[in-house]
A and B are shown apart, each in its own frame.
Chain A
Amino acid sequence: MTTHQHDKRDPACLEVFAKLSEYVDGELDAVECQEVEAHIADCPPCVEFLQSLKRCVAAERQFQGREECGPVPPELEQRLKSAWQAALARRHHA
């Protein structure tokens, strides 16, 4: 049963909304986590909102851009290798 009106004008809801990403990321402490869970437990719209946020985050984590970069040109590869070897030489002489 819904015991609160799911509304961004409700300070309790606002407080929970502000913490939802940290909740999804497991970055809340135990007390805050319990507060969020207690708040959303009786509120289907809050649960729905949380689910859609989780799906959005999952989509971001699987994101692969359409643009592909070409292979590293051979001359750049040689410059990268030379730069790396020079950096290692500096490290050994330091």
Chain B
Amino acid sequence: MTTVSRIAPEVEWARRLLAGDESAFTPFVESFQHRIFQYTWLMCGQREDAEEVAQDTLLKIFESFDQLEDPERVKAWVFRIAKNYCLMKRRKSVFAPDRELSLDELLPGQEGDRPIQVADTSELPEGRVLRQELSEELERAMRALPDTYRSVVLLRDVEDLSTADTAEVLDLTEDTVKQRLHRGRLALRKSLAAYVEKAQ
């Protein structure tokens, strides 16, 4: 039996761009433009800043395309550039100041705790609307996360980067990525559960 390995489209486009194939230019730009914007929008907080940073990131990507050594890791390479531009542009005052999320405050077991649920909307007929509402609440909850946790959650869960790639993009150890991801997820879970409880 032949094993067919699935190559991510962006990896294929990056390879073709490195080989000078212009037909890969538009799909590559279209694929990354929205993802970079979503990342910069959630990291920068201001639409104008996010657009500017996304455009600067795109330009930097193509200016330094000759430095892309491993097309397999093009996504990590792209988000490393995006992260650096965000750091230059970031207006910290927009967000809650960086702080440690304590595992203690995110776990159940306190007196008076009630079980909290995050709704599973996938099977419901009205699931689309609920998913949209949940997505909006998720966006609010992500914005409320301290930067250090939000950047990890965005790369690991939203962009589906590996732990190793996320660590490389953010200049962190893999253990730190895992710890921040876990605490970020627990904080989001708590926010979403509170939203669901309020909506019921």
Query: Chain A: residues with CB nearer than 8 A to chain B?
Result: 6-10, 13-14, 17-18, 20-22, 25, 27, 45, 48-49, 52-53, 55-57, 59-70, 72, 76-77, 79-81, 83-84, 86-88, 90-91, 94
Q: Are A56 and B66 in contact (CB under 8 A)?
A: no
Partner of A17, one of B18, B54, B103, B135: B103
Chain B contact residues: helix, strand, loop or mixed: helix
The interface residues of chain B lying within 8 Å CB-to-CB of A91 are 18, 65-66
The answer to whether B109 touches A55, judged by C-beta atoms less than 8 angstroms apart, is no
Residues of A within 8 A of B189 (CB): 52-53, 56
Contacts A55-B120, A65-B38, A81-B22 given; 14 further ones with Cβ under 8 A? A8-B108, A8-B110, A56-B118, A56-B185, A60-B188, A63-B139, A65-B42, A65-B139, A66-B139, A69-B37, A72-B58, A86-B63, A87-B65, A88-B65
Q: Judge whether B62 and A83 touch: CB under 8 Å.
A: yes
Given the known interface contacts A63-B158, A80-B58, the answer about A87 and B66 at a Cβ–Cβ threshold of 8 Å is: yes
Q: Tell which of B63, B65, B104 touches A8, judged by Cβ atoms closer than 8 Å.
A: B104
Inter-chain CA distance A88–B64, complex, in Å, is 9
A10 partner residues in chain B, CB cutoff 8 A: 109
Residues of A within 8 A of B64 (CB): 87
Q: Which residues of B are found within 8 Å of A67, using beta-carbon distances?
A: 37-38, 41, 47, 50
With A55-B118, A91-B66 known to touch, is A84 a contact of B37 (CB < 8 Å)?
no
Is B94 part of the contact surface with A, judged by Cβ < 8 Å? no
Determine if B104 and A84 form an interchain contact, defined as CB atoms under 8 angstroms apart. no
Q: Which of B56-83 contact A (CB under 8 A)?
A: 58-59, 62-67
Q: How far is the CA of A87 from the CA of B37 in the complex (A)?
A: 23
Q: List the 9 closest A-B pairs by CB distance, nearest first.
A: A8-B109, A69-B37, A21-B182, A91-B66, A60-B157, A83-B62, A87-B65, A8-B107, A56-B189
In the assembled complex, which residues on chain B have CB atoms less than 8 Å from the CB atom of A13? 109
Q: Is B134 in contact with chain A by the CB < 8 A criterion?
A: yes
